[in-house]
Amino acid sequence: MSTLQVEREHMAALETQIADLERRLAILRDEKALVQETLDAYKYPVLEVPNEIVSEIFIQFVPPYPSRPPNRGTLSPTLLTQICTRWRQIALSTPQLWRAVHIAVWDDAVGSHPQIQLAGTWFSRAGIYPLSLEISGTRDSSITREEISDLAVEQARWEYLKINVSDLDTVFGLVGSMPQLRHIDVDVSRSSEIVTLEQVPLLCSAVLSGFAPSYIVLPWNQLTPLALKRLTTLCSGPL
């Protein structure tokens, strides 16, 4: 048999195999289409829950207000924005999730602190709701008045305020009226002047620690509970 004849027979065999494979591939594609149709028709039960109920579930997921949730990870509202597009939209449109923030600055870097920027973003999502804010740092941490001013624009909505910083002036240097403030917790190491809070008509409870009683004056007659912890005075030392 000539070489040409052998190649022709080989070609015919290949064409037969290709045709067989194409028929089998067509069958598999039809089967795939049927499976995809079934999947497309399936409704995940959790996606059938109305938005308002999902929103309420989200509110129960984070720590109860005025407790401040972590900025990320478990129990953080940011986690709810990372599940799917629908849940992200629901979380971002649920203002109660974003009304409590903890800003922790543990380094001595001067400049824009991402957590302060994050707090501003959260508070903008909180709509008109009152806010719960905690600011904490070490003796070496550095927060400037300019950075705090970004949060001070929301001071009219501060309802619960906890401050544990070295310098009280940084926080209260720009603060004015806080008409919704109900509770304040202050632990401070120093201040260049006495801070007097006068425009706080709803303030009814306070916790003062360290040097705080020496640097801050509150409307004492409004307070129902007042807690004094680890008191240190400027003259006599620890009490």
Give residue limits of the domains in the chain.
1-42, 99-238
Contact between 61 and 81 (Cβ < 8 Å): no
Cβ neighbourhood burial of 181 (10 Å; 0-12, 13-18, 19+): buried
CA–CA distance, 184 with 176 (Å, rounded to integer): 15
Residue 239 in this model has a pLDDT that exceeds 50:
no
236 sits in the region (left: phi over 0; alpha: psi -120 to 50; else beta) called alpha
- What distance in Å separates the CA atoms of residue 62 and residue 71, rounded to the nearest whole number? 11
Mean pLDDT, to the nearest integer, of 70-79?
94
What integer is the mean pLDDT of 25-42? 91
What percent of the chain has a predicted confidence (pLDDT) above 70? 85
Confidence (pLDDT) at 145: 61
CA distance 35 to 196: 71
pLDDT at 174: 53
Residue 24 clears pLDDT 70, i.e. is over it: yes
Helices (H), 153-218: 168-172, 212-215
Amino acid at 152: A
pLDDT band at 107 (very low <50, low <70, confident <90, very high): low
Residue 169, pLDDT score: 66
Candidate from 3-12, 100-109, 135-144 with smallest mean pLDDT: 135-144
Give the three-class secondary structure for 220: helix
Per-residue buried b or exposed e for 201-224, using 16+ beta carbons within 10 Å of the residue's own CB: eebeebbbbbbbbbbbebeeeeee
| Mean per-residue pLDDT, 120-139 | 88
CA distance 113 to 116: 6
pLDDT of 141 reads: 54
pLDDT score recorded for residue 135: 87
When mean pLDDT is compared across 79-83, 135-139, 187-191, 209-213, the lowest value belongs to: 135-139
Measured CA to CA, the distance from residue 167 to residue 156 in angstroms comes to: 22
- Distance from CA of residue 127 to its chain's centroid? 14
pLDDT in tens, 168-212: 766 665 556 899 999 999 998 877 788 888 889 999 999 999 888
Structure confidence at residue 43 (pLDDT):
75
Longest alpha-carbon distance in the chain: 117
- Whether the pLDDT of residue 236 is over 50: the answer is no
Q: Which of 23-37, 178-192, 221-235 has the lowest mean pLDDT?
A: 221-235
pLDDT confidence of residue 166: 76
